[in-house]
Structure 1
Amino acid sequence: MSAFITFEGPEGSGKTTVLQRVAERLSQDYDVLKTREPGGVPAAEQIREILLDGEAVDDRTEALLFAASRREHLVEKVLPALKEDKVVLCDRYIDSSLAYQGFARGIGVEEVRAINEFAINGLYPDLTIYLDITAETGRERIENNDRNMNRLDHESIAFHQRVIKGYHDLIDKEPERFKVIDANQELEAVVEDTYTAIKMFLGK
Structure 2
Amino acid sequence: MADQLTFYTNPMSRGRIVRWMLEEVGAPYETVLLDYASTMKAPDYLAINPMGKVPAIKHGATIVTEGAAICAYLADAFPEAGLAPPVGSKDRGPYYRWLFFAAGPLEAVTTNKAMNVEVPDERRPMVGYGTLDATADALNELVGANEYIAGGKFSAADVFVGSHIGWGTQFGTLPKRPNFDAYLARIMGRPAAVKAREIDDKAMAA
Normalized against structure 2, the TM-score is what? 0.31
* Greater strand fraction, Structure 1 or Structure 2: 1
- Bigger Rg, structure 1 or 2: 2
Question: Relative contact order, CA 8 A, sep 6+: which one is greater?
Answer: 1
Normalized against structure 1, the TM-score is what? 0.31
